[in-house]
Structure 1
Amino acid sequence: MPLTDTKVGFIGLGLMGSPMAANLLAANATLTIYNRTASKCAGLAEKGASVAATPKEIAQCTGTGFIILCVSDTPSLKAAICDTNGVLPGLVHGATVIDMGSSSVTATRQLANIVEEAGGRYVDAPVSGGEAGAKAGSLSIMAGGKPTDIERVKSVFDVLGDSLTHIGPVGTGQAAKVANQAIVGATVGIIAESLSLAKAAGADLDRVREALMGGFAASRILELHGQRMIDGAFTPGARATTQKKDMRQAIELAEEVDLSLPLMRQSRDLWIKMVDEGLGDLDQSGYFQFVESDQEPKT
């Protein structure tokens, strides 16, 4: 098995983290897991994972191995690493910390400095592919870090994804993920609006999608999210609240580097509006419902 005798700690067992951790366990890693809601650890524990009480204990159990974090946002990442019971107080010299969530570029670089000063290594490796990719082990991984550190964690990445791109130094993985999520957010929005327009004009949406998939408008988002929009299948693979967070991070980064990006800013504002209207727990494809409900007369 590819990860036999490899110690891996995994923090964050959400929609993405749980299947990723399951794949590591299936690859025979010596896996220790932690989640703020402890009940989410039960399924993996039954399959042989050890459960830690704190991120600090994760670091202690993992030793010089790999500590993967897949948490919801930047504040949660900072807490998991830097709190009294976080990774940092238990970090063993030589361990590698890998952030596979979507986090702020600036915070990533700050945390990398903190971890490296404590004797650890740091890699930012956000992913694309959604829950389906996490389950299939077919994620696209965008990695930032030193070449030697990326090479060191390649065996772990090979289990989790089928595409690994070393973007550059620490923080550039997150910069690539920001670009990815901004494209996803804006594209989901225009597909939803376009399908709503075609529907209002009396067109059969299945045939519209079929036609568009054969032309220049074809995309993975139209293929998957477009079908979900037509089917009204909005059970989350990735929640609208997460997309809102990602769009906010994109604009925050744009402001930090002094760029004016009006389309991205408008997309962010619309995702915020969707969540504010109570649709935040829908899948990203639920944007179609947001567009449709926004057409209804306001009372």
Structure 2
Amino acid sequence: MITIGFIGTGLMGLPMAKNILKSGFKLKAFNRSIEKAEPLKEFGAEISKTISDVVKDSDFVITMLTDDSAVDAITSSSDFLDNLKSGSTVIDMSSVKPTTAAKHGTNLKSKNVNYLDAPVSGGTIGAEEASLAIMVGGEQSIFDKSEKILKAMGNPTLVGPVGSGQVSKLANQIVVGVTIGAVAEAITLCEKAGADPNKLIKALSGGWADSKILQTHGKRMIDKDFSPKGKTYTHLKDMNNILECANSYNTHLPISNLVKEMYKTLVDNGHGNTDHSSLYNEIERINKK
């Protein structure tokens, strides 16, 4: 039976690992705070207490971590590298820089370990429902071997060589960030002008302006419920990575730059742990000047 080692069982990783187990795979789970991995026991997971244990004898190792530094800390460690099974596959589903993905892909190839970068979109709801959009960078043959595992978590698409998954995720975050800003402005305009924003969302359903962000994030803005599903500081990290990537290709993204500055102000003002739909609050702040 295929054995999967899963590293990082936070808001996204926990339901993702749960869906892998529900699909009948054998899974070992590790999280720096072990108690966050414990709920997987009831679904048949083995809880590992060390990186070396979760990696050892695993045919596939999946990492779902917060950022580049977290991924680097794990995948560059001797506990990780020295215990990887020759011929195994590492799938990094974290959102990191394309250059970070390329670096780890090259490093692992030298150890006869395959690598895919496979960041996701869909938030905690998508993770729970196994409906995540999964953007994959790597070789076709390795993708084919990994597809059944990835399909346990959502809808995988191979978009190009190593690093392409991360570029696609950055493109995704451009659309998400800019759309959150557009929805926040639409809700704000309705509130200021006396139109019912709840009825606005209903009225736009099925039209060109309709989207998951309008339906979900718009409701959060109306209810002023910014409990974190996707965090503001995480989206700021994504916007910074977007602009860094664009700059490396001498490409200007003015709208992304504006959204990045708004997220930066939110984080600077202590709202880093709120939901990224709290971009609405930055528009409120601007209007109170």
Structure 2 partner of 1:144: 137
Residue 18 in structure 1 maps to residue 14 in structure 2 = yes
Supply the distance in 1 between the matched residues of 2:114 and 2:171 (Cα, whole angstroms).
Answer: 25
**Which consecutive segments of 4 or more residues in structure 1 shift more than 6 A?**
none
Q: In structure 2, what is the Cα distance between the partners aligned to 1:276 and 1:212?
A: 34
- State the match for 1:89 in structure 2: 82
**Other-structure match for 2:203:** 211
Mean CA deviation greater in 96-105 or 47-56: 47-56
> Contact conserved, 2:57 with 2:85, CA < 8 A, in 1?
no
Give the drift of 1:174. 0.7
Secondary structure at 2:61 match in 1: strand
Unaligned runs of 5+ in 1: none
Q: CA deviation at 1:290?
A: 3.0
Which residue in the other structure is 1:291 paired with?
Answer: 283
Amino acid at match of 1:124: D
Report the aligned-residue RMSD.
1.4
Match of 2:239 among 227, 233, 247: 247
TM-score between both structures, scaled by the size of structure 1: 0.93
Q: Deviations over 1:36-83 (max 9, x none)?
A: 111111111343311222222222141xx1100000001111111012
Query: Residue in 2 aligned with 1:272?
Result: 264
Q: 2:148 aligns with which of 151, 155, 163?
A: 155
SS in 2 for 1:170: coil
The alpha carbon displacement at 1:274 in A equals 0.9
Counterpart AA for 1:95:
S
The amino acid of 1:152's aligned partner reads K
Q: 2:73 aligns with which of 56, 64, 79?
A: 79
Q: Is this contact kept in 2: 1:15–1:238, CA < 8 A?
A: no
Deviates more, 1:39-48 or 1:105-114: 39-48
What are structure 2's unaligned runs of at least 5 residues? none
Out of 145-154 and 218-227, give the one that drifted further. Answer: 218-227
Corresponding position of 1:117: 110
Task: Please report how far the alpha carbon of residue 232 of structure 1 lies from its aligned counterpart in structure 2 after TM superposition.
Answer: 2.0
| CA shift for structure 1 position 140 | 1.1
The residue type paired with residue 82 of structure 2 is: P
Matched pairs, number = 289
Q: What per-residue deviation string (whole Å, max 9, x for no partner) do you get for residues 63-117 of structure 1? A: xx110000000111111101232x2121110110001111110110111000010
Tell me which of 27, 41, 60 is aligned to 1:31.
27
Q: Which residue of 2 aligns with 1:103?
A: 96
Q: Say whether the 8 Å CA contact 1:178–1:246 is kept in structure 2.
A: yes
What is the rounded CA distance, in whole Å, between the counterparts of 1:31 and 1:268 in structure 2?
Answer: 38
Please list, as runs of the form range in 1=range in 2, the aligned pairs for 1:249-264 lying within 5 A after superposition: 249-264=241-256
User: Contact between 1:254 and 1:261, CA under 8 Å: does it hold in 2?
Assistant: yes
Q: CA deviation at 1:194?
A: 2.0
Query: Shift of residue 192 of structure 1?
Result: 0.5
Q: Whole-Å Cα distance in 2 between the matches of residues 61 and 277 of structure 1?
A: 46
Partner of 1:287: helix, strand, or coil? helix
Give the fraction of aligned pairs with identical amino acids, expressed as a percent.
Answer: 37
How far apart, in 1, do the equivalents of 2:93 and 2:189 lie? Answer: 37
Please state if 1:180 is matched with 2:172: yes
Q: CA deviation at 1:150?
A: 0.2
Q: Which residue of 2 aligns with 1:202?
A: 194
Separation (CA, whole Å) in 2 of partners of 1:12 and 1:42: 12
- The structure 2 residue matched to 1:42, chosen from 34, 38, 42, is 38
